[in-house]
Amino acid sequence: MIIPHPLLGPRDAQEFTYLGDASLMARPDPYSESAEAEFCNYVYLRDNPAGIHRELWFHEQGDRSWLIITRDTLTHEILGAELVSADKLKAGL
Amino acid sequence: MTDLTPLTALRDRDPRSARFGAVTLSEKSDLSLASLYIGAGRTKPHPFGLDLPDIGKISNAKDHSAFWVGPNQWMIERKSPSECDFAAEVKAQAPETAVTEQSDGFVCLELEAPEDAMTALLAKLINLDPHSLTPDTAVHTGLDHMTVFVLRRSVTRLDFIGMRSYADSLWHALATAAARMNNLDT
Amino acid sequence: MSRISGGIINRDAPISFSFNGQNYQAFEGDTLASALLANGVQLVGRSFKYHRPRGILSAGSEEPNALVQLGRGARLEPNARATVTELYEGLTANSQNHIGPLKRDLMAINDLFAPFLSAGFYYKTFMWPRAFWEKLYEPAIRRAAGLGRLSFKPDPDQYDKGFLHCDLLVIGGGAAGLAAALTAGRAGAKVILADEDFHFGGRLLSESYTLGDALALEWVETVLAELNSLPNVRLMPRTTIFGVYDHGIFGAVERVGDHLPTPHKGLRQTLWRITSKQSILAAGAVERHIPFANNDRPGVMLAGAMRAYANRWAVTPVQSARDPIAIFTNGDDGHRTALDLLAKGVELLGVIDTRADAPRFGDYEVFASAKVSDSKGRHGLAAIEITHKGQPKWHKVGALGVSGGWNPNVHLSSHHRGRPIWDDDLLAFVPPKDGPKGLIPAGAAAGRGCTGDALSTGMNAAITALGILGLPAHKISLPETLSEAHKQEAFWHVPATAVDKKRQRKRAWVDFQNDVTVKDIALAHQENMRPVEHLKRWTTLGMATDQGKTANITALAVMAELTGKTIPETGTTIFRPPYTGVSLSVLGGGDIGQNFRPKRLTPTHKWACTRGAVFVEAGQWMRAQYFPKPGETHWRQSVDREALAVRAGVGVCDVTTLGKIDLQGKDATEFLNRIYANMMGTLPLGKVRYGIMLREDGALYDDGTCARLGENHYVVTTTTANAGLVYRKMEFAHQCLWPELDVQIISATDAWAQLAIAGPRSRELLARINDGFDISNEAFPFMSCAELTICQGLSARLFRISFSGELAYEIAVPARYGNALIERLIEIGQDLGATPYGTETLGVLRIEKGHAAGNEITGQTSALMLGLGNMVSKKKDSIGAIMSRRGEMATESKRLVGLRPINPNDPVVAGSHLLKLGSVLSLEHDEGWITSACYSPHVGSAIGLGYLDRGDARIAEHIIAANPLEGQNIRLEVVSPHFIDPEGERLRD
C-alpha cells in the first residue's frame, strides 16, 4: 500500500507501523466513577468495520509522526490522511 | 584531551573507503551531530546563522548545516573536527530548545557517483523515486530493514546516515549495490 | 532438421546445447523449444500422473508440457519451460518425471491404471485403511509426485532487489503495449515497458502481416529505437510482472542473467517493486486447444504457436520435413496458420474446420463441418482420424495445429478479486470492470486482438492514462493494418460418439500438465463437484505449475455443457499472484547467510573479538555471551568463573544494548509520571529510580531505570528487546494522548557505550579512571547519577545502579570510546581481578539476585506477581493503572519465588510446572511454573525463579517441578528469590 503522508507525500506502507482503530486516541478519564468499565471498553472493544475505518499509523521509518488514515477495509482505498496533531488541534486540545 | 583512542563506527582507527568503478564509498567520521527539537508553536531559532529548513530539506551555513527530521525537529551538523559534546554548542545557540547529542549515535557513509550511476544505485537501495531526491533534500526511510537518513548533498554526492550499531550492515548494503552495478566483488 | 526459411534468428551465431545427454545445434534467438523442434525432437517430457509422452504445446509462458530440468549440480533448476528458455552456449537440459530413458519410462504403467486414478482419486483411494496413510500411501505418493527434482544444494547464484517509480507501467510489449508506450513516452510521461520475452513485439514477431508498407518486425524495431532514445522510457525485456498489489505497486522479476552461459559473473535475477501511478495491461491472449481423443501426443500443438515457430523461429514441429501438417480449428484463426505454412512451402494436409460454412482463404484443402476424432503414434504424432460427413478416416500427419479461440490474458486484472466478464461475441472472458484501480486493459488482453484494434486500444489507453496523470496527450500516427478474419464458433471439445464403447474409453485431455480429461470433468459433474472451485480441487484442474492457463476455460465450457448452463452461469475462478512461478531465491532479495538480516554490533565488539568472545544474537544485536579462557572447554567453566569473579572482585559487561531515551521539556516529569506505573515525579536531581511500565490492560510491559540529569532532562533505559517499542509507545502517548505536554523524546541508544562495572571492588576500579569526581559512598550513594569526566577529560555519565546485587555502576561514554574504555578497565584492573563477562553471566547474576527479565515479564504477568504490586501508584494516573486494579488482576495469587533443588545435583529446568508434593501430576493441580534457571556457582547448585501460587507465603515448603517432556520430577525447596544478599547491603555499601 501507499500511504499519502500529509507532510511528505506518498510513502510505501513498509515505512509505517500499524496500530489500529483511531479510537485509541480517546483514552477514558481515569478519574471518572465508571473508569474501570470505560477502560475495559477502551482496551478490549473495537469496531471492525467492513468499510470505512479511521486508524492509526506510525511513520516509524520516517518522520515519526502518528497519522490518522481513513481506509476502506474492503478495497484498501485510502480516503484521507492527517497528522494526529492536526486532528487534536481541531478537537481543541 | 582524553587519552582513550576512539574508533570509527566501522570499528577502526581510520575511516573506511572503497572504490567500485566510478563509485566511491567512504565513511565520514568527522561529523558532529545534535538533534534539536522545539516545542510546538515556538519560534524557530537560528543556530549558527542557519535557517532551519522546511520539510524534507537541508539548509547550509558556513561550517554548519541542518536537515529536517520531523515536525519541529531538526538535526544540526558541523563539519570536522568531530566532537562528542556538540550538543552543548548547539544549546548555547538555541537555549530555548531541547538538544540531544547525536554525534556518536550514527554512522555516515558517503557515496560519490556520476548522476546516472547514482540514480541506478538509489533504485537498488531505497523505495523512493530518485528524481525526487534533488540536491539539498533529506529523507528518512528504510534500507534493508534498517532506518536511514538519506541526504542529497549534490547531484553526485549522497550521505547515508544510519544508526551506528548498524554500520557494518549499512556498509554491506551500499558496497554490495555498488559492486553489483560494476560486476565486482565487495 | 525441420528448419525453414526466414525467422528472427541469427544464423551467423550458432549455439551448441544438449538435451538428455545429446548435443545439438541451434541459433541465437532460439528458445530451447524452437531449438529442439529444429532438431526434430518432438518428445520432451512425461505428464504428471499418467506419464504420457508429451511434446511442446505452446510458444509462451503458458506451456503445460515442455518442462525440463535446466543446468546441473547446484544450478539444477526443475520445471523450466522450454518455450521461454532463451538458448545460450552450453545450455544443458534434461527431461523430467520419468524412470529410465524418456522413451521407455517405467512409470508409464500408471497410464494402464488410469481407471483408478480418475478425478478425486486421492480422496477415494487412500482413505482406507486409515493406518496405511502414513506408512504406505503418503510416502509412495510423495515419491511419485512432483515433476522435476531439486539439487538439494545451496543456490550459488546472486540475486538482487530494487525499487522503480514511474507514471505509467505498460505490461506487455506487443502491438498494444508498444503503441501505449510510444504515446506516453512522447508525451513526456515516465514510462516502464516490461515484457517477459527477450524480444519486444509480442505476436507481431510471430505473424506474417505488414504494418503500413513495412513488415511488422520493421515497425517494432523503429518504435523500439525511438523508445530507447527517450530518457523518460525504461525498457525492461525478460521482465515478468507477476503481481498487482494495492495502490499501484507491482511485483516484477527481471531475468538479468538467465540467458547467459553459466557460471557467469553478476546477477541472475532482480526482484523489482514497481510503483506506478497508472498502468496498462497489454499482456495479450492465450490460445485454447480443442480436446479430442488422444489429443496429447507430441506433435499436437496450438495453431498460433505453430505459426509463431514458423514465422519467428523458422521451424515446424515435424520430425521429417516430408511429413504433412494439418490444422484443426473452430474459427478463422486456424486458417492463418495454414496460410503462413503454405507461404513457407510446408506440406499441408488441410484445415479441419468444425463449422459448416468453413471458409477457404488460399490454396489448401478444407474439411468443413469436420472434427479430429483420434490420433496415433507412439512417441510422436503419426496419424489423425478426421471425422468428416459422419465418416472417420485416418490420415498420416507429422503434426497438428489446434485452434480453439483465444483467451484474453486477464490474470493480473483479477488480482484484486475482480471477476472476469464473459463476452458472448468473443467467446471468452475479458477483464473485470472492478479490476485494480488505474489498470487499463488494452489489445488482446482486453479482447481487442486484431492488430489494428490492438494498436488503437493501446494508444487510447495511454491517452486515458495521460489524462488522469494530467499530462498533455497526443495521438500518434499508427500504421495501417489489413482487417483480419476472426470469426469463430463455440466449439469446445470433440465428444466421443455415443454408440462406440471402445471410443468411449478413450480420453481427451483438457489440462495436460495435471492429466485432467473430459471424462474427469464428467465424473466430477456426476459426483456433484460442480461449482468451479470444487471442480478444480476434485480434479486438480489448473493446479499444476502452469495454473491451467491453456485449460481452465475449456474445462469450464465442458462443465457448462454437462450442467446445461451457460459458461458465465457456471462461473470462473479468479487469479492470484504470481502470474508465473517466482523462485524463492529472488524473493529473498539476495542477502543470505550472514547478511540475511542486518546486525547491530556493540561499541566493544572489536575488543570482544580479540578476547575470543563467543557471541549470541539478542534480537539483531550480536552480544558477547561469554569469554572463554585458554583451557576452558565448556561454556559453564567460563560462566562460573566470570560470575564468581564479579562477586569476588569486579567484572565489566557491555550493556549498550539497553534502550536509552532522552526526554526534555518542562512537562517531562509529568509525562514520565504517566508512563511509569510508579511515582517518578518525586525523583530528585542526580538520582536514578527503578521503574515499571504497564500496558493499558494492566499487564507488566517493561522495566528499566529513569535518571534525572537536569531539572527538565531525563534519560530512561528500557530492556534491550523493547527499546524500539517503548520509544514508539512514548511517541504514541505524547502525540495521540497528551499533545499538550511539553516534552521532546529522542532515542540515544547508539550514541553511548554503556558498561556495567559490578563487584565489591568496582569503586576501586572506577577510581582509577575517574578525573576527580567524588564517588565515595557518602557523596555518590546507591541510585545516584551524575555527569563527570574520566580518562583525562572524557565526558561520561555515571549511574550507581546494580543488576547483579553487588556494588555496581554503569558508565556511559560516547560510543566511539567504548572499545578503548573496556580495554582500559580490564587492563588497569588486573590486580582487582577485573574480568569481562557476557550475557550468560549477566543472566546468572540477575537470577541469583532475583531480578526480573524477559522470562518473567512475558506480557501475561503483572507487577503483583513480581512482588512489585505496591509500586503501582494509587496517587496518580498512569498507563495501565486502572486496569491493573480490576478484580482478576488484583486477586492474582501467583508470586515470584526462588527455587532450589533438595538434591544439589538435580537440574532445574525452565518451563517445568510446579505442583504440591504428593499431588497427581495433572493440569488441575498445576500451581505455577519455572521462568528462569541457571547453575549458580554462588549457591553451588542449579537454581531457578518461578511463579508459584501464594509463593510469598510458602518459603521453605518442598514442591515438585514436573518436566513431562523429559520425564523429570524434581523436588525443590521454595526460597526467597534473592539468593544473595536479601537485605541489599552489598549494593548500598
Q: How far apart are CA C538 and CA C524, in angstroms?
A: 7
Asked whether the bond before C154 is cis by omega within 30 degrees of 0, the reply is: no
Is residue B186 one of the residues assigned to a domain? no
Structural domain contains residue B5: no
Segment C516-568, tens digit of pLDDT? 999 999 999 999 998 888 999 899 898 888 889 999 999 999 999 989 999 99
Alpha carbon of C424: minimum distance to chain B alpha carbons (Å): 43
Do C687 and C680 form a contact (C-beta atoms < 8 A)? Answer: no
pTM above 0.80, yes or no: yes
**A24 in contact with C at a CB cutoff of 8 Å?**
yes
User: For C140-180, how does the pLDDT look when each residue is reduced to its tens digit (9 = 90+)?
Assistant: 766 666 678 888 999 899 999 999 999 999 999 999 999 99
Domain boundary among the residues C362, C379, C403 is at: C403
Q: Does B7 touch chain C (CB under 8 A)?
A: yes
- Tens of pLDDT, residue by residue over C948-964, are 999 999 999 999 999 98
DSSP string, A54-87: EEEEE-TTTT--EEEEEEETTT--EEEEEEHHHH
CB-CB contact of B8 with C816 (8 Å): yes
Is the CB of residue C247 less than 8 Å away from at least one CB of chain A?
A: yes
B130-139, C563-572, C729-738: least confident range: C563-572
Same domain, B131 and B142: yes
Domain A2-91: CATH superfamily is Folate-binding superfamily (3.30.2270.10)
Are residues C281 and C164 part of one domain? yes
Smallest Cβ–Cβ distance between C735 and the set A30, A43, A85 belongs to A85
Quote the CA–CA distance of C594 and C586 in Å, as a whole number: 17
* Final residue of a structural domain among B103, B125, B141: B103
pLDDT of C426-455, one tens digit each? 999 999 999 999 999 999 999 999 999 999
Eight-state DSSP code of residue A22: G
C885 DSSP 8-state letter: T
The residues that bridge with C935 in the sheet, in sequence order, are C942
Last residue of a domain, one of B103, B118, B134: B103
Percentage, residues of chain C above pLDDT 70: 97
- Phi, then psi, of C675 in degrees rounded to 5: -85, -45
3-class DSSP state of C324: coil
Please indicate, yes or no, whether residues B24 and B90 belong to a single structural domain of this protein: no
Task: Give the C-alpha separation, A20 to C314, whole Å.
Answer: 60
Chain C residue whose CA is closest to A83: C735
Q: How far apart are CA A23 and CA C414, in angstroms?
A: 34
What length does chain A have? 93
Q: What's the rounded mean pLDDT across residues B60-66?
A: 94
Residue B99 pLDDT > 70: yes
Summarised one tens digit per residue, pLDDT across range C63-87 is 999 999 999 899 999 999 999 999 9
- Residues C308-365 have pLDDT tens digits of 999 999 999 998 888 999 999 999 999 999 999 999 999 999 999 999 999 999 999 9
Cβ pair A44:C736 closer than 8 A: no
Q: Over pLDDT 70: what percentage of chain B?
A: 99
pLDDT of residue B181: 87
Contact B180 C792 (CB under 8 A): no
Cα–chain center distance at C951:
47
Backbone region of residue C73 per phi and psi (left: phi > 0; alpha: psi in -120 to 50; beta: other values): left
Instruction: Looking at the structure, tell me whether residues B22 and B74 fall in a common domain.
Output: no
Confirm if B101 and B87 have CB atoms less than 8 A apart: yes
Structural domain including C514 reads 510-563
Q: What's the CA angle centered on C641, arms C637 and C645, to 5 degrees?
A: 175
Between CA B184 and CA C943 the distance in angstroms is 54
Give the minimum alpha-carbon distance from A8 to chain B in angstroms, rounded to a whole number. Answer: 7
Structural domain contains residue C483: no
Mean residue pLDDT of chain C comes to: 94
> Which of B103, B137, B159 is where one domain is finished?
B103
Q: Do B4 and C162 touch (CB under 8 A)?
A: no
Where do the H-state alpha helices sit in C20-94?
32-38
Q: Among residues B98, B103, B117, B101, which one has the least CA distance to residue B158? A: B117
Q: What is the pLDDT of residue B84?
A: 78
Mean pLDDT, residues A40-51 taken together: 94
Same domain, C665 and C652: no
pLDDT of residue A90: 62
pLDDT top residue among C293 and C390: C293
Q: C729 and C634, same structural domain? A: no
Q: Which tens digit of pLDDT belongs to each residue from C625-644?
A: 999 999 999 999 999 999 99
Answer whether B169 touches C (CB < 8 Å): yes
CB of A61 within 8 Å of any CB in chain C?
no
**Same-domain status, C178 and C255:** yes
Q: What does the pLDDT read at residue A93? A: 47
Instruction: For residues C839 and C899, state if they share a domain.
Output: no
Three cell numbers, residue C654: 557491555
Would residue B113 count as lying in a domain?
yes
| Count of structural domains within chain C | 6
User: Are C882 and A78 a contacting pair at CB < 8 A?
Assistant: no
Q: What is the mean pLDDT of chain A?
A: 93
Question: Which triple of cell numbers denotes residue C76?
Answer: 539444477
pLDDT of residue C33 exceeding 90: yes
DSSP per residue, C812-836: EEEGGGHHHHHHHHHHHTGGGT-EE
Report how many domains make up chain B.
2
> Which pLDDT value is given to residue C519?
92
Same domain, B62 and B92: yes
- Kindly tell me if the per-residue pLDDT of C670 is higher than 50: yes
Q: What is the mean pLDDT of residues B89-107?
A: 95
Q: 3-state secondary structure string, C859-876?
A: CCCCCCCCCCHHHCCCCC
Residue C1 has pLDDT above 70, yes or no: no
Q: Which residues contact C613 (CB under 8 A, 6 or more apart)?
A: C624, C625, C626, C627, C836, C838
For residues B26 and B112, membership in a common domain is answered with yes
Q: Which domain holds residue B175?
A: 17-30+105-181
**Using an 8 Å Cβ cutoff, are B126 and B174 in contact?**
no
pLDDT value, residue B117: 95
H/E stretch holding A26 reads none
The reported pLDDT for the residue numbered B186 is 65
In a domain? residue C572: no
**Model ipTM?**
0.97
Residue C238, domain member (yes or no): yes
CA distance C626 to C549: 58
Question: Least CA distance to B139: which residue of chain A?
Answer: A62
Given CA atoms C915, C916, C921, C927 in this order, what sign does their dihedral have?
negative
- The length of chain C, given as a count of residues: 989
Residues with Cβ within 8 Å of residue C596, at least 6 apart in sequence: none
Question: What count of Cα atoms within 13 Å lies in the side-chain half-sphere of residue C619?
Answer: 17
B8 falls within a domain: no
Residues of chain A neighbouring B141 (CB-CB closer than 8 A): 11, 15, 61-62
Verify that C668 and C612 share a domain, yes or no: no
Backbone angle region of A56, left / alpha / beta, with phi > 0 → left and psi within -120 to 50 → alpha = beta
- Please report residues of C whose CB lies closer than 8 A to that of B124: 160-163
- Provide the CATH number for the domain around residue B65: 3.30.70
Give B142→chain A minimum CA distance, Å.
6
Question: Do A74 and C914 contact (CB within 8 A), yes or no?
Answer: no
Probe site for chain B from A3, A5, A64 (most B CB atoms < 10 A): A64
Q: Please tell me whether residues C171 and C259 are part of one structural domain.
A: yes
Distance CA C38, CA C17 (A): 12
Q: HEC profile for B15-43?
A: CCEEEECCEEEEEECCEEEEEEECCCCCC
Residue C317 covered by a domain: yes
What is the predicted pLDDT for the residue at C146? 66
Terminal-residue alpha carbon distance, chain B: 37
Residue A52 has pLDDT above 50, yes or no: yes
Q: Answer yes or no: is pLDDT of C900 > 80.
A: yes
pLDDT of residue C715: 97
**Does B183 have pLDDT greater than 80?**
no
Residues of A with CB under 8 A from a CB of B: 7-8, 11-12, 14-15, 60-65, 83, 85
Give the closest of C246, C739, C883 to A88, CB-based. Answer: C739
Helix, strand, coil in percent for chain B, rounding step 5 = 25, 35, 40
> Would an 8 Å CB–CB cutoff place A7 in contact with chain C?
no
* Helix, strand or coil, per DSSP, at residue C456: helix
Structural domain contains residue C631: yes
The CA-to-CA distance between both ends of chain A, in Å, stands at: 31
pLDDT at B28: 94
pLDDT of C119: 73
Q: Do B112 and B161 share a structural domain?
A: yes
> Do the chains contact at B142 and A64, CB–CB below 8 Å?
no
Dist CA C753 CA C767 (whole Å): 19
Beta bridge partners of C511: C516
Would you report the helix, strand and coil content of chain A in percent, each value rounded to 5? 25, 35, 40
Where along chain A do its domains lie? 2-91
CA C638 to chain centre: 41
Cα(C984)–Cα(B180) distance, rounded to whole angstroms?
58
Q: Tell me the CATH number at B126.
A: 3.30.1360.120
Mean pLDDT of C404-433: 95
Do the Cβ atoms of C158 and B180 come within 8 Å? yes
- Tell me the per-residue pLDDT of C318-334, one tens digit each, with 9 for 90 and over: 988 889 999 999 999 99
* Per-residue model confidence (pLDDT) at position C423: 95
Q: Is C708 helix (H, G, I), strand (E, B) or coil?
A: strand
Cβ–Cβ < 8 Å for C977, C855: no
User: Residue C543 domain-assigned?
Assistant: yes
Q: What is the CATH number of the domain that holds C192?
A: 3.50.50.60
Neighbour-count burial for C257-272, b at 16+ CB within 10 Å, e otherwise: bbeeebebeebbbbbb
- C955 contacts chain A (CB < 8 A): no
Cβ-contact C156, C268 below 8 angstroms? no
3-state secondary structure C129-156: CCCHHHHHHHHHHHHHCCCCCCCCCCCC
Cβ-nearest to C739 among A1, A58, A93? A93
Is there a domain that residue B145 lies in? yes
Nearest residue to C43 via CA among C25, C73, C22? C22
H/E element, C486: none
| C647 band by pLDDT with thresholds 50, 70 and 90 | very high
CB-CB under 8 Å, B141 with A15: yes
Closest among B176, B185, B178, B186 to B22, alpha carbons compared: B178
What does residue C283 show for φ and ψ, rounded to 5 degrees? -90, 5
Cβ proximity of C716 and C705 under 8 Å: yes
The dihedral over CA atoms of C615, C619, C620, C621, expressed in degrees to the nearest 10, equals -40
Express each pLDDT in C860-894 by its tens digit.
999 999 999 889 999 999 999 999 999 888 899 99
Q: Please tell me whether residues C705 and C608 are part of one structural domain.
A: no
Name all chains with 3 or more CB-CB pairs below 8 Å to chain C: A, B
Do C323 and C377 fall into the same domain?
yes
Q: What is the pLDDT of residues C761-812, one digit of tens each?
A: 999 999 999 999 999 999 999 999 999 999 999 999 999 999 999 999 999 9
Does one domain contain both C277 and C419? yes
**Position A57 pLDDT exceeds 90:** yes
Rg of chain B (C-alpha set)? 17
How confident is the model over C269-283, as a mean pLDDT? 97
Query: DSSP string spanning C738-797?
Result: -TTS--EEEE-GGGEEEEEEESTTHHHHHHTTBSS---STTTS-TTBEEEEEETTTEEEE
Q: Residue C495, exposed/middle/buried by CB under 10 A (0-12, 13-18, 19+)?
A: middle
CB C183 within 8 A of CB C463: yes
Amino acid at C167: D
Name C818's Cβ contacts closer than 8 Å, sequence gap at least 6.
C602, C603, C604, C654, C656, C753, C755
On whether both B80 and B99 belong to a single domain, the answer is: yes
Domain assignment present for C492: no
